[in-house]
Structure 1
Amino acid sequence: MFFSGVQTSRGELRIHESLDDLSADLVEYISELSDASVKERGVFAIALSGGSLIGLLGKLCEVPYNKTIDWAKWYVFWVDERVVAKSHADSNYKLAKDGLLSKVPLIPSHVHSINDCLSAEEAASEYDFGIRQLVKTRLISVSDISDCPKFDLILLGMGPDGHVASLFPNHSALGVEDEWVTFITDSPKPPPERITFTLPVINSASNVAVVATGGAKAEAAHLAIDDVDMGPTSLALPARLVQPTTGKLVWFLDNQAASKLDGIQFSA
């Protein structure tokens, strides 16, 4: 069962029966956005998350995408990163490099990873500064409403607790508005030290895609997407705070993650 283009007050839903189908649709979506951005701006600025999301992007390395995408025009960033060595198993950079970036003809200088020799605070500050320089040159667009960068696409995963990027429920980082990149040293998930885009940056993107798979994400997906009165507890679910100001939000879910959504009925 595939629900394509279901529009809700919380964005477009694309629900797939299998991970393979979801992966195929996600990769085609990315390819289309890449083509459109390159035609319009001459570049495609994409920010990646880590986790299981990277494994769903493998088809980008295969025919036809490895040939048809204008990889030389891609500029790659990270929505969040663990402050560990780039060779560490916990590194989002390593995950993306091993699963995608090393398999396509990207220009190495277009891949913007954090400085893994710095502290979390220093790494966040340096990453923030680097993005500001690229906004000045308009390699990254700027929001019409705020001074935030306007990435062509921000790709997010979602945890069972509803966290996105390294923005966790009830964490003070959720309230950071005067910085583009912030840091945390007390992540509830190891490793504890991370850098992360702030909510204003995520919500300034031209396109945001949230990917969630598996039954463990079903309750969080329900609370994030459905018209649920969260009341004063909204900070308990960061995914619900993903609300692009002028951009487009698309949710890529499998049947299990979508199983608790209101109004979605799956045939036996």
Structure 2
Amino acid sequence: MTSTPQSTYNVYDDEQPLSTSLGYQLEKIINYLLRRSCADGVHHSVRNTTEQVAKGDQDLAASKQKQFVTIGLSGGSLVQILANTLPYLQLPWPQIRFFFVDERHVPFTSNESTYHAYDQQLFRQLPLTQDHVIKINADLTVEECAKDYEDKLRRLLQESSTNEPSAVQSTNDETFDILLLGMGPDGHTASLFPNHKVLDVDNCLVTYIKDSPKPPQERITLTLTTINKAKHVLIVAMGEAKSQIVKEVIKDKNEQYPIGKIRPAIKTQVRWYLDKQAASQL
């Protein structure tokens, strides 16, 4: 394992060990987040017991304890990688919620739909209900779809850290737990493309594009600002076609490409998972 001030990367011979390592890292992060939340709740309760009894208040710790971990999924090779590892992990499935870092604005029956790919290859292998997966409403216009998806994600963020019923509203903690990102040969990630105006959107969690340089043209995506607020960012890149950009981003610290702009503001480092071909220029 090699470290830089901004990122950590691991290199694997092929997809299988990469998939296994990524799965174990996810398991470690998920369990850590849930254990820490539980511990924080206990400490909070102990500190405030006397005061709460005096006031007749309910247990504040219970209302603030983390209810589940939020995991953002990306398409491409990540679908198969996760399908090869997640079903074999001992994860607390009732305490996990999946959503999509970006999505094509197409029907869920389309082979271009990221949700469709995950539903066919992964979700059906897991003990999930419809409530475990947050997805877009593809029947809406792309503008309406982005607004509706943002409302869903805001509700998800609020519900992830409270036992209380939530309303759709802005939250001060617009922070997802884990984002799984891929990278295109042009350096794009999510549906954030090089030199596209979508990179400058910073006043919302979710935005849309109608002129994607890669089909289909209409897409929904988390904004760069939203991605950079995540607690844990894991990036997978495979293939020699991506080696030049991998080198420029990891070694040269080039922020020209969207993937190079992934710099979370909090302490957690970005973790890269590379095969030998993608890492060949490092």
TM-score (norm 2): 0.82
Partner deviation per Cα, 1:219-243 (whole Å, 9 max, x = no partner): 1111111125x5xxx4x40000000
Larger fraction in strand: 1
- Whether the aligned pair in 2 keeps the contact of 1:48 and 1:155 (CA below 8 Å) is yes
Amino acid at match of 2:203: D
- Whether the aligned pair in 2 keeps the contact of 1:148 and 1:204 (CA below 8 Å) is no
- Whether the aligned pair in 2 keeps the contact of 1:218 and 1:259 (CA below 8 Å) is yes
Q: Quick one: percent identity of the two aligned structures? A: 37
Q: How far apart, in 2, do the equivalents of 1:26 and 1:157 lie?
A: 13
> Which residue of structure 2 lines up, in the alignment, with residue 264 of structure 1?
none
Structure 1 position 42, deviation (Å): 3.6
> Which residue of structure 2 lines up, in the alignment, with residue 8 of structure 1?
4
Does 2:273 match 1:252?
Answer: yes
Moved more, 41-50 or 199-208: 41-50
Does 2:148 match 1:123?
Answer: no
- Whether the aligned pair in 2 keeps the contact of 1:60 and 1:100 (CA below 8 Å) is no
- Whether the aligned pair in 2 keeps the contact of 1:58 and 1:100 (CA below 8 Å) is yes
> Which residue of structure 2 lines up, in the alignment, with residue 266 of structure 1?
none
Structure 1 position 148, deviation (Å): 5.5
SS in 2 for 1:219: helix
Does 2:33 match 1:33?
Answer: no
Partner deviation per Cα, 1:148-194 (whole Å, 9 max, x = no partner): 62111000000010000000000000011101100001111111100
Structure 1 position 260, deviation (Å): 1.0
The 5 A counterparts of 1:53-202 are 53-63=78-88, 65=89, 68-139=90-161, 147=172, 149-202=174-227
Moved more, 24-33 or 125-134: 125-134
> Which residue of structure 1 lines up, in the alignment, with residue 74 of structure 2?
49
Amino acid at match of 1:88: S
Q: How many aligned residue pairs are there?
A: 244
Partner residue of 1:242 out of 258, 262, 271 = 262
SS in 1 for 2:136: coil
Structure 1 position 216, deviation (Å): 0.6
Q: Which has the larger radius of gyration?
A: 2
Following superposition, which runs of at least 4 residues in structure 1 exceed 4 angstroms of deviation? none
> Which residue of structure 1 lines up, in the alignment, with residue 57 of structure 2?
none
Q: How far apart, in 2, do the equivalents of 1:28 and 1:208 lie?
A: 15
Distance 1:61 1:209, change over 3 A: closer
Structure 1 position 101, deviation (Å): 1.1
Does 2:230 match 1:205?
Answer: yes
TM-score (norm 1): 0.86
Amino acid at match of 1:47: G
Structure 1 position 138, deviation (Å): 4.5
Q: How far apart, in 2, do the equivalents of 1:79 and 1:139 lie?
A: 20
Moved more, 27-36 or 196-205: 27-36
- Whether the aligned pair in 1 keeps the contact of 2:183 and 2:237 (CA below 8 Å) is yes
SS in 2 for 1:253: strand
Q: How far apart, in 2, do the equivalents of 1:24 and 1:135 lie?
A: 28
SS in 2 for 1:216: helix
Give 5+ residue unaligned stretches, structure 2: 38-65, 163-170
